[in-house]
Every structure is written in structure tokens, then in C-alpha cells.
Structure 1
Amino acid sequence: MSAADEILDIVDENDRVIGQLPRGQAYAEGLRHRCVFIRARDAQGRIFVHRRTPTKLVFPSLYDMFVGGVVGAGETYDDAALREAEEELGVSGLPRPEFVLKFLYDDGAGRSWWSAVYEVRCELPVDPQVEEVAWHDFLTDDEVERRLPEWEWVPDGLAAHERLREFRAG
């Protein structure tokens, strides 16, 4: 099954399921669905940063400071966070990511998705999926901040980063 064929829950502005459709159709029609964003840090506290492959359906070749993806139909945010983190980092036996916050992302062009943000410590050696990750490294918070104006970042990841920063600032 291709990524475009994966079935997603379609949700309303209150994150209630109102239907189910293939990912490709949901994207094409701009239908609201669910996503998870997981900030993965290594044993030294550095953030996993990567550049997406050019074959990704959304935001190809852009940089991201989160791993994650869509929540499948009937899947919980928590289960999706663990699945996506293990898949993209190429590890198994990862601790369950900790939920931090949820927000409704809006791309400004009429498309939006519910975005659950998590954090996880990954002390395992990573082996990212070649289909998902073209380049990766662990960067300090300061290095990430320095790269924000230099690299082209996925817009929803930037929004999650800003929300997380605001949340931490309290």
C-alpha cells in the first residue's frame, strides 16, 4: 500500500472523527486530519534534525526538527507517536513519547490538521528510513536556532516549534 492509500480519520474543528478517506484524497481536498510531531533528543539532549526526501507527499526536501506523520484511521495520537518515532528514527524499543500539547495547524491556504506534539529521549543508535530521511544529525538547541533563518523548514514543524517554545516559556 502506498502512502497515498493509507486511510486517515477526517476530523472536525473539535477533533471529532467525521469520516475516513485515503491520505491522497484527504491531502488533495484539504480535509482536516490528525498528525503527530515528536521532538527526539539524544543522550546529550541534542535534537534530531533531518531533511526530508524529495519523494515525500508533503514538504519534500525541507528540513524538520521533529519526526512524525499522520495518525492512521482508528489509531490514537499516543500510538502514532511511538510508531512514527520508531519508524523514522529506525529504532525499536523506544520509550513511549511524552505528550506535551496539541494545536490546530492552519497553512493559511485553507488546509489544517490537528497536531499533537511529543518529546522522547532516544539513546539508541538511529538508522533513519532512507525513504523518509535524506540527511540527519543531532543538533544543540542553539544550533537549531541558528539554522532557523538559514534552512528551509517544514512550515508545520516550525509552527510546532513555536508552540513548544511558547509552552516552555510558560
Structure 2
Amino acid sequence: MSAADEILDIVDENDTVIGQSPRGEAYAKGLRHRCVFIQARDAEGRIFVHRRTPAKLVFPSLFDMFVGGVVGAGESYDDAALREAEEELGVSGLPRPEYLFKFLYDDGAGRTWWSSVYEVRCDLPVSPQVEEVAWHDFLPEDEVLRRLREWEWVPDGLDAYERLRAYRSMG
């Protein structure tokens, strides 16, 4: 089954399931679905940053400071967060990611999804999928902040990162 054929729950503005659709169709028609964003940090507190491969369906070749992806039909955000973090980092036995908050991402151009943000500590050696990740490293937060102006980032991840920084400054 290709990524485009994966079945997703389609949700309304209140994050209530109103139907299902293949992922490719959900993207093509701008149907609202669910995603998870997981910030992975190593033992030194550095953030896992990666560049997406050119073959990705959405935001090819852009940088991201989260691992994550779509929530499958009938899947909980929490289960999707653990599955996606382990898949994208190429590890197993990761602790369950900690839920932080949820927001509705909307790029104003017909792409919108409910986005649950998590964090997880990854002390395991990572081995990201070569089909998904072209480059990766754990970077100190000050370097991530510096790179925000230099690299082209996925817009939904950038939005989630700004919201996460605001969330942490309130705590």
C-alpha cells in the first residue's frame, strides 16, 4: 500500500470524525485530517532535525524540527505519535511521547489539519528511513533558532515550533 492509499479519518473544525478518505485524496481535495508532531531530543537536550527527501508527498526537500505524520483512520493521536516517532527515528522501544497541546493548522490555501504536539527523549541510536529522511542530526536549540532564517522549513512544523516555544514560555 502506498502512502497515498493510507486511509485517514476526515474531521470537522471541532476535530470530530465525519468520514474517511485515502490520504492522496485528502491532500488533493484539502480535506481536514489529523497529524502528530513529535519533538525528539537526545540526552543532551539537542533537537532532532532532518531534511525530507525529494520524493515526499508534502513539503519535499524541506527541513523539519519534528518527526511525525498523519493519524490513520481509527488511530488515537497518542498511538500515532509513538508509531510515527519510532518509524521516522528508526528505533523501537521509545518511551511514549508526552502530549503537550493541540491546534488547528491552516495555511490559508486549503491545507488544514488538527495537529497534536508531543515531545519525547530519544537516547537510542537513530536510523531514519532513507525514503523519508535525506539528512539528519541532533542540533542545540540555539542552532535551530539560527537556522530558522537560513533553511527552508516545512510550514506546518514551523507553525508548531513557534506555538511550542510560546507554550514553553508560559509554563
Scaled to the shorter chain, the TM-score interval is over 0.9
Work out the CA distance in 2 between the residues paired with 1:54 and 1:110: 22
Q: How does 1:40-119 map to 2 (within 5 A)?
A: 40-119=40-119
Aligned partner letter, 1:97:
P
Deviation at 1:111, TM superposition (A): 1.9
Work out the CA distance in 2 between the residues paired with 1:117 and 1:30: 21
Deviation at 1:98, TM superposition (A): 0.1
Work out the CA distance in 2 between the residues paired with 1:30 and 1:110: 5
Work out the CA distance in 2 between the residues paired with 1:167 and 1:47: 17
Work out the CA distance in 1 between the residues paired with 2:44 and 2:114: 30
Deviation at 1:142, TM superposition (A): 0.1
Work out the CA distance in 1 between the residues paired with 2:63 and 2:27: 20
Deviation at 1:53, TM superposition (A): 0.4
Structure 1 match to 2:144: 144
Deviation at 1:169, TM superposition (A): 1.1
Q: How many residues align?
A: 170
Q: How does 1:152-167 map to 2 (within 5 A)?
A: 152-167=152-167
State the secondary structure of the residue aligned to 1:153: coil
Structure 2 match to 1:28: 28
Aligned partner letter, 1:166:
A
Structure 2, unaligned runs of 5 or more: none
Work out the CA distance in 2 between the residues paired with 1:94 and 1:121: 8
Let me know the Cα RMSD of the aligned residues.
Answer: 0.4
Aligned partner letter, 1:161:
Y
State the secondary structure of the residue aligned to 2:27: helix
Aligned partner letter, 1:144:
V
**Which range moves more in the overlay, 81-90 or 108-117?**
108-117
Post-superposition CA distance 1:5-54 (Å, at most 9, x none): 00000000000000000000000000000000000000110000000000
State the secondary structure of the residue aligned to 1:146: helix
Q: List structure 1 runs of 4+ shifted beyond 3 angstroms.
A: none
Structure 2 match to 1:6: 6
Deviation at 1:143, TM superposition (A): 0.4
**Which range moves more in the overlay, 108-117 or 7-16?**
108-117
State the secondary structure of the residue aligned to 2:138: strand
Work out the CA distance in 2 between the residues paired with 1:111 and 1:164: 20
TM-score, structure 2 as length reference: 0.99
Post-superposition CA distance 1:110-155 (Å, at most 9, x none): 2210000000000000000001100000000000000000000000
State the secondary structure of the residue aligned to 1:72: coil
State the secondary structure of the residue aligned to 2:51: strand
